[in-house]
Structure 1
Amino acid sequence: METFFQFRTAEFTDNAQTILQQQPGFVQAATRWQLADSHINFQDYFLDGLQMSVVRGHLQRPFQIELAVERPWLATLFQLEGQVSSKSCALRPLHIGPGQHNLMADEASANTYTFEGEQYTCFSAHLAPAFFSRLVQGNPEWLAKHEARLVNPTPFVLLPPGMAVTTAQRAIIQQIIECPYSGALKKLFLEARFLDLFIEQQTQPVLRPSGASSRDRDTLHAIRDFLDTHYAEPPSLLELARLFGTNDFKLKKGFRELFGTTVFGYIAERRLTVAWQLLTLTDQPVQEVAESVGFGNPAHFATAFRRKFGLSPSHVRRAPQAFAAGLNLTSSAALLAH
């Protein structure tokens, strides 16, 4: 098991237990840290040139942990709940708040991070530089973005303010967390879903700061959270703006700048993602799924679903277990082996 870093904070090492499990082609490690009324669970997967980590916990106070770096790395980090910060990551202060993600690289021999949040959930993937180079060199657009770093590797944080985690990215991470497979198929699945997530991140538009005030950004995040649970029957744009004490122009402009999509684009994405989950994880009939996510017309639902996933809802319903792991398993694995 070749790690990128080791924890060396006494408070952590003295109160943590790790169980290792060797599987075909990779090692899985489950670590639980608990002290008083706080706890964190680490689920790590060690593959060739890649370490994926799911960190979930409950923190009553900020938790500080020091990493001793074993070898150079690049990392993609998706902060779903809570926040993480460092006084010096990639030669600068780092902060990734809830609902944000970033790409970074650091070769410091040690670094200290602070986890905060009563509920804490994040996903990270650490890559060996050679593995990262292999991924981006086959895509001209990605290569143009990262070529200078490949030629002259230096510490960096790609987007200091961070980017908003999209619905699609959340869905992929959830599938990694809930991976139903074991053995060689699990390794294939994890590699494939990581690549799908990497592709989603690399193709996400680089958002410029919107210039919105902190209060406006808080309002937009509250609106997005509201849409996460009211996607089936959302209010009109004007009603939504009034509900949150803003105006429709500021809502349309600010939402697109902050989240990289329109309000109704976000709703459509959310509906289809939930539909996929219902079709693969429940026994609901296709028409019932369509209605539950807000599609009154089954034909419109089928068209939108096929456009996004390349498959019809009925095709997925006929063999849900075959698709519960997600899409592009074969093509993603082929890219990894390229």
Structure 2
Amino acid sequence: MSSPQRITTDAGSRDSLTWEFDGIRMGHAISTFNTLTSFSATSANTDVVRLHIGLKGNYSFYYKQLDTHYHLIGGHHNILYSKDFDMMVENRTLQLETFGIQFPRETFLRFTQNANPLLQRFADRLISGDSAILSEQWGAVDPGIQQVVHQIVNNPYKGDLQQLFLLSKSIELLVLCAESCRLALDKKEEFLKSPADKEKILAVRDLINERLHCPPNLSQISRTVGLNEYKLKRGFKETFNTTVFGYLAEQRLLLARQYLLDTSRTAAEISYELGYCTPQHFNNAFKKRFGSTPNDLRKNP
């Protein structure tokens, strides 16, 4: 695992982790600001494709090579390419959490040579040397993408095994993000017409993530974020392709699986901690989702 690094400036601090393997560079960062400000991000002579994931926080940026402004609300991703890289970023919240992967151009083309039409069109731009973005419609960070990022950041492996693990996860993220962007392009936004409503739906997601062990009900969530239940339910499904209850159930099970692999807590302890009625209820839900019981996973991780 990469050693954590902290950079402190007058504007705030940045805590980061980076990994490098097979020419691929991967990084996770949490930036904490003292105030809303702007800053530049530049890189010259780097012929790489960037998979960018915004996990938390709102910000906007101007991408010089694409001559485009983007205004982003936490929980988004896209794939971008330019030989040089010049951005001016403005943070709209005091904390930003991001994750990114830089693929050498030839490596990316090798991975995507038989991909879906969206990726193939993007690859054609790369072959021509043009600056490009995979999709003008940024994809939403769904539970699957969240889980892979969590696995990467918390991976326990060392040496060659870690490199193999990270390579497999980089490809998995590439597949998930490309498919998510394809779905976002085909989706019609029927319920969330304003950025304010989209921010409220992301606040719903964050509220659920913070309270997996004792989640609020729909009426409580509705009052907390200031969105009526009808728009809440349909806006959540529109954004994350699942219901509020489905998202909660999936996040609980993914977290339970991580606890089973990374801690010594018993299945019963985990079930109660995550709010399941009984260990048997947890056992049944876990087996239905992963195909094995919690105890079986411990024996054969």
TM over 0.5: yes
Aligned counterpart, 1:334: none
SS of 1:112's partner is strand
How far residue 245 of structure 1 moved from its aligned partner, in angstroms, is 4.3
* Cα shift readout 1:95-127 (whole Å, capped 9, x = no counterpart): 4332222222223x3413426343232110011
Matched, 1:43 2:23: no
Matched, 1:151 2:131: no
- Give the TM-score of the pair, scaled to structure 1: 0.74
Contact 2:122 2:134 in 1 (8 A): no
Q: Which runs of 5+ in 1 are unaligned?
A: 1-22, 324-338
Contact 1:78 1:100 in 2 (8 A): yes
Change (3 A) 1:292 1:305: same
Change (3 A) 1:198 1:308: farther
* Cα shift readout 1:50-100 (whole Å, capped 9, x = no counterpart): 211222232224352342322322211111233454322533223433222
Matched, 1:34 2:8: yes
Partner Cα distance (1:59, 1:242) in 2: 29
Aligned counterpart, 2:61: 86
With 306-315 and 165-174 compared, the bigger mean Cα shift is at: 306-315
Q: Which runs of 5+ in 2 are unaligned?
A: none
- Give the TM-score of the pair, scaled to structure 2: 0.82
Q: Which among 168, 176, 181 is matched to residue 157 of structure 2? A: 181
Corresponding pairs, count = 290
- For residue 116 of structure 2, what is the amino acid of its counterpart? L
Change (3 A) 1:145 1:177: same
Q: Which among 70, 74, 79 is matched to residue 103 of structure 1? A: 79
Partner Cα distance (1:100, 1:300) in 2: 33
Partner Cα distance (2:227, 2:109) in 1: 45
Q: Which among 133, 136, 141 is matched to residue 112 of structure 2? A: 136
How far residue 259 of structure 1 moved from its aligned partner, in angstroms, is 2.2
Aligned counterpart, 1:127: 103
Change (3 A) 1:234 1:188: same
With 204-213 and 74-83 compared, the bigger mean Cα shift is at: 204-213
Change (3 A) 1:156 1:29: farther
Partner Cα distance (1:274, 1:73) in 2: 33
Aligned counterpart, 1:60: 34
How much identity, in percent, do the aligned residues show?
25
Matched, 1:71 2:46: yes
Q: Which among 195, 198, 203 is matched to residue 222 of structure 1? A: 203
Q: Which among 210, 226, 229 is matched to residue 248 of structure 1? A: 229
Aligned counterpart, 1:273: 254
Partner Cα distance (2:55, 2:160) in 1: 28
Matched, 1:203 2:179: yes
Aligned counterpart, 1:4: none
Aligned counterpart, 1:18: none
Contact 2:140 2:240 in 1 (8 A): yes
